[in-house]
């Protein structure tokens, strides 16, 4: 089985986020970047298929050279090869077009993407890739098994879960549940050393115009001041909740 795992290069959630050029551009200075969490769940599941079923695992990212450390981490975790499409990921459609070309050229049986990335949270790329490649698609996927040319996938739906049988080639939008957080892997020294020898191929992008553009970013409003009320002063607490917070 030939598996492609889509990897987004996203800011760590603990990073302090700032913007430049009148809040129109993201400031990457001093920001730590990581593998998108939903993609990391997918990569870990792909490693299970590699170890249990002998699958070949390739990771792919659409981005500039600054994303290569993230791809190298994926190789250190155990992926066999990496591909970087040499263009900035400006919007979901452009990313989907580049990934679709990689998938078509590589004849992949299973494509595992995160249901969304934690930077823009668009949640559109996996579905658009499936449409562009005419592949089966399961979103919000929380469990996946593959037997021959058929997969059994469980996805979250309103009010519950649904398990379906679907043929390969298949694209999934994965999330926590494909594996648990306790199963995520930290690269060890041997993996890091081996990653240096694994192929990281840079390919030029397909000519594609972006469909959207970010005009302006705005940070959430700062949290208001906190008032502390002594635990034995219930009258004051009730007064504040009633007259200031106006929640009772």
Question: What is the residue extent of each domain of the chain?
Answer: 2-215
Asked whether residue 76 carries a pLDDT value surpassing 90, the answer given is yes
Note the helical H segments in the chain.
37-53, 68-77, 92-106, 125-133, 189-195, 234-243
Asked whether residue 165 carries a pLDDT value surpassing 90, the answer given is yes
Task: Please answer whether residues 173 and 45 qualify as being in contact, where contact means their C-beta atoms are separated by less than 8 angstroms.
Answer: no
Question: Which 8-state DSSP code applies to residue 66?
Answer: G
pLDDT, mean over the chain = 93
Topology of domain 2-215 in CATH is Rossmann fold (3.40.50)
The residue among 95 and 13 whose pLDDT is bigger is 95
Task: Please answer whether residues 153 and 163 qualify as being in contact, where contact means their C-beta atoms are separated by less than 8 angstroms.
Answer: yes
Task: Please answer whether residues 36 and 115 qualify as being in contact, where contact means their C-beta atoms are separated by less than 8 angstroms.
Answer: no
Asked whether residue 39 carries a pLDDT value surpassing 90, the answer given is yes
Q: What is the pLDDT of residues 171-195, one digit of tens each?
A: 999 999 999 999 999 999 999 999 9
pLDDT-derived band of residue 222, with 50, 70 and 90 as boundaries? confident
Asked whether residue 210 carries a pLDDT value surpassing 90, the answer given is no
What is the mean pLDDT of the segment spanning 31-60?
96
In percent, the amount of the chain with pLDDT more than 90 equals 75
Query: Phi/psi at 46 (nearest 5 deg)?
Result: -60, -35
What pLDDT, on a 0 to 100 scale, did the predictor assign at position 138?
97
111: nearest Cα among 68, 154, 141 = 141
In percent, the amount of the chain with pLDDT more than 70 equals 100
Structure token pair of residue 196: 């240096």
Measure the CA–CA gap between 222 and 199, rounded to whole angstroms: 45
Burial of 200 (0-12, 13-18, 19+ CB in 10 A): middle
């Amino acid at each position: 089985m030939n598996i492609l795992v889509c990897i987004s290069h996203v800011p760590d959630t603990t990073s302090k986020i700032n913007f430049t050029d009148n809040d129109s551009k993201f400031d990457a200075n001093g920001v730590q970047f990581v593998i998108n969490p939903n993609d990391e769940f997918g990569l870990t599941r792909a490693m299970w298929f590699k170890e249990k079923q002998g699958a070949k695992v390739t990771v792919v990212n659409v981005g500039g050279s600054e994303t290569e450390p993230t791809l190298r981490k994926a190789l250190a975790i155990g992926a066999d090869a990496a591909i970087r499409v040499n263009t900035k990921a400006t919007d979901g459609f452009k990313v989907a077009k580049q990934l679709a070309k990689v998938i078509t050229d590589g004849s992949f049986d299973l494509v595992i993407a995160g249901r969304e990335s934690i930077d823009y949270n668009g949640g559109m790329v996996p579905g658009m890739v499936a449409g562009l490649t005419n592949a089966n698609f399961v979103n919000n996927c929380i469990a996946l098994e593959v037997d021959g040319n058929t997969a059994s996938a469980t996805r979250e739906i309103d009010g519950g879960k649904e398990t379906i049988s679907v043929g390969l080639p298949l694209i999934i939008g994965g999330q926590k549940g494909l594996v648990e957080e306790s199963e995520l892997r930290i690269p060890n020294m041997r993996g890091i050393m081996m990653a240096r020898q694994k192929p990281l191929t840079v390919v030029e992008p397909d000519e594609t115009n972006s469909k959207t553009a970010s005009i302006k970013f705005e940070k959430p409003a700062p949290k208001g001041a906190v008032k502390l009320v002594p635990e034995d002063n219930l009258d004051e607490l009730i007064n504040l909740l009633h007259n200031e917070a106006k929640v009772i």
